[in-house]
């Protein structure tokens, strides 16, 4: 796969050109993070819930094969057709074959990050199938021909005036209209017509229950249900890590998911699908696409515990100030940056560096993924495998030599101090990214060592 057009740092620089907008983006996500905090402190057992959620997922990772086989068997007994896709291409081909079987060239789709990961929309569109994304945020970005910038809040990078313009162009709303109520009503009418006329609906899966063969889809808008219950064919797509052992474990996850995501006590709809309705056809596509490889990477397998709440993104100082699109991956932010290198190390080698390693992501994660540790470990793997760029590698190898030799250390710091005094502008230049928004410090006349030798060493 090719390199992205811009790496994270370069794309962030573009995003940062509009400073008031970046500040707004930062504050909006921080506000969501604060809502999460308020919701979590209302439950005295919050930390115990996180621990339980984490340990259930550890059990799942270590029994993945048995749980998936049980899930498949039960789902088949329930009258559901189960498909397995080794990679994105096979996933996409399965969806197309189901559509072709029913001679359908239009479908509705509710939110599924997996289908973003597999670039399903592009594939279907190239094969003459029209896909309408029905989550409001996803529909907005789809009309703008953009990918979602956040896994829970797909249009979080846009202002209501942007949405107003997009809807004026595509849905015929009044020019200049920016009232969210009015714009949402326009989308409701527009999408209701799609729900009522499409014969195939695709949904994601939040949790799949091994014991019963059922799956749970959570939305606030009701778009997954509107699509699925009106369609002749319901296709549900899941990465295999969505499995949990029993329905009773949902008590843990449904208490954590929405509180972590948006600070709500639960999503409006947590729908449990077990059987197709009479006359309906139901398919489940279980996708690997690199997950079994990740399961084998001891340092990184815990990333598969993720329940896609987005809390790590909302809290991340780098995500909030660089925007989701800078990550050039279906899942942005800290979790995306530890998932993406598994999919393609070359293309995503920049992402584990898009972090200050402050650790806030790990602290808010409802399933206790050691996200910041994994970011740090990926940097080492990527450097060892030769995917770290020349500049970063060269400067770090010089630093390693200088820091290892007292003579070199003394010489270089004396030189640097002199240079800073004579020509402070030398460091504040575009070649030194550290000097963006920062001034280099004023250099003292002598080093501590020189001061010590003069004043203390020979009294």
Residue 17: half-sphere exposure toward Cβ, Cα within 13 Å: 5
400 binds other proteins (CB under 8 A): no
Which residue, 6 or 43, has its beta carbon nearer to other proteins?
43
Per CB under 8 A, which region of 125-133, 182-190, 401-409, 418-426 contacts other proteins?
182-190
Q: Which of residues 204-243 bind other proteins (CB under 8 A)?
A: 209, 212-214, 220-223, 225-226, 229-230, 240
Residues 6+ apart with CB under 8 A from 207: 215, 216, 242, 243, 244, 250, 253, 307
For other proteins, give the closer residue by CB, 197 or 356: 197
Interactions with other proteins, residue window 21-40 (CB under 8 A): 28, 31-32
Q: Tokens 């973003």 correspond to what residue?
A: 116
DSSP 8-state code for residue 242 = G
Which two three-digit tokens encode residue 66? 């048995």
CB 171: neighbour CB atoms within 10 A?
A: 15
**Any contact of residue 89 with other proteins (CB under 8 A)?**
no
Q: Is the CB of 137 or the CB of 366 nearer to other proteins?
A: 137
3-state helix, strand, coil in the chain (%, to 5): 55, 10, 30
267, 315, 355, 360: which one contacts other proteins (CB under 8 A)? Answer: 267
DSSP for 140-156, please give it.
Answer: HHHHTT---SSSS-TTT
Q: Is 83 helix (H, G, I), strand (E, B) or coil?
A: strand
> CB of 374: closest distance to other proteins in angstroms?
15
275 binds other proteins (CB under 8 A): yes
Stretch that binds other proteins, among 134-142, 351-359, 383-391, 434-442 (CB under 8 A): 134-142
- Interaction between residue 169 and other proteins (CB under 8 A): no
Is 122 one of the binding residues for other proteins (CB under 8 A)?
no
Question: Within a 10 A sphere around the Cβ of 94, how many other Cβ atoms?
Answer: 18
- Assess 364 for contact with other proteins (CB under 8 A): no
| Tokens representing residue 380 in the block | 């080492």
Going by C-alpha positions, the residue among 59, 82, 84, 67 that lies closest to residue 212 is: 67
When the beta carbons of 59 and 106 are compared against other proteins, the nearer one is 59
Q: What are phi and psi of 194, to 5 degrees?
A: -65, -45
According to the binding rule CB under 8 A, does residue 293 interact with other proteins?
A: yes
Q: Write out the binding residues for other proteins, residues 300-359 only, by CB under 8 A.
A: 301
With binding defined as CB under 8 A, does residue 286 bind other proteins?
yes
Tell me which residues in 423-452 interact with other proteins (CB under 8 A): none
165 binds other proteins per the rule CB under 8 A: no
């Amino acid at each position: 796969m090719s390199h992205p057009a811009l790496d994270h740092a370069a794309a962030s620089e573009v995003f940062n050109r509009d400073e008031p907008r970046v500040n707004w983006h930062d504050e909006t996500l921080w506000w969501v993070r604060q809502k999460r905090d308020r919701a979590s402190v209302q439950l005295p057992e919050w930390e115990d819930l996180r621990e339980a959620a984490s340990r259930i997922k550890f059990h799942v990772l270590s029994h993945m094969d048995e749980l998936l086989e049980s899930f498949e068997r039960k789902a088949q007994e329930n009258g559901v057709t189960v498909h397995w896709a080794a990679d994105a291409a096979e996933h996409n081909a399965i969806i197309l074959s189901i559509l072709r079987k029913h001679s359908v060239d239009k479908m509705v789709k509710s939110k599924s990050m997996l289908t973003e990961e597999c670039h399903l929309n592009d594939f279907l569109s190239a094969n003459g199938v029209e896909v309408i994304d029905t989550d409001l945020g996803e529909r907005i970005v789809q009309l703008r021909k953009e990918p979602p910038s956040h896994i829970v809040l797909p249009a979080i990078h846009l202002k209501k005036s942007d949405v107003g313009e997009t809807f004026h162009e595509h849905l015929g709303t009044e020019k200049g209209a920016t009232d969210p109520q009015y714009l949402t009503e326009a989308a409701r009418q527009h999408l209701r017509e799609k729900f009522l006329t499409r014969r195939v609906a695709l949904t994601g899966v939040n949790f799949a229950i091994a014991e019963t063969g059922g799956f749970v889809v959570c939305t606030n808008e009701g778009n997954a249900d509107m699509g699925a219950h009106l369609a002749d064919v319901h296709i549900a797509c899941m990465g295999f890590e969505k499995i949990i052992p029993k329905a009773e474990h949902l008590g843990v996850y449904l208490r954590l998911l929405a509180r972590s995501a948006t600070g709500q006590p639960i999503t409006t709809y947590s729908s449990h699908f077990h059987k197709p309705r009479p006359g309906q056809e139901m398919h489940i596509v279980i996708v690997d696409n690199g997950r079994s490889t990740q399961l084998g990477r001891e340092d990184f397998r815990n990333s598969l515990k993720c329940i896609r709440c987005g809390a790590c993104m909302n809290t991340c100082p780098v995500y909030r100030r660089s925007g989701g699109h800078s990550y050039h991956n279906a899942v942005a932010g800290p979790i995306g940056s530890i998932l993406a290198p598994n999919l393609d190390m070359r293309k995503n080698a920049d992402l584990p560096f898009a972090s200050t390693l402050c650790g806030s992501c790990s602290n808010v994660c409802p399933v206790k993924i050691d996200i910041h540790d994994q970011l740090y470990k990926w940097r080492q793997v990527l450097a060892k495998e030769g995917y770290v760029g020349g500049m970063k590698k060269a400067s770090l190898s010089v630093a390693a030599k200088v820091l290892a030799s007292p003579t070199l250390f003394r010489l270089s710091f004396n030189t640097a101090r002199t240079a800073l005094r004579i020509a402070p502008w030398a460091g504040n230049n575009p070649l030194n990214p550290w000097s963006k928004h920062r001034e280099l410090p004023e250099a003292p006349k002598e080093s501590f060592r020189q001061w010590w030798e003069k004043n203390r060493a020979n009294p």
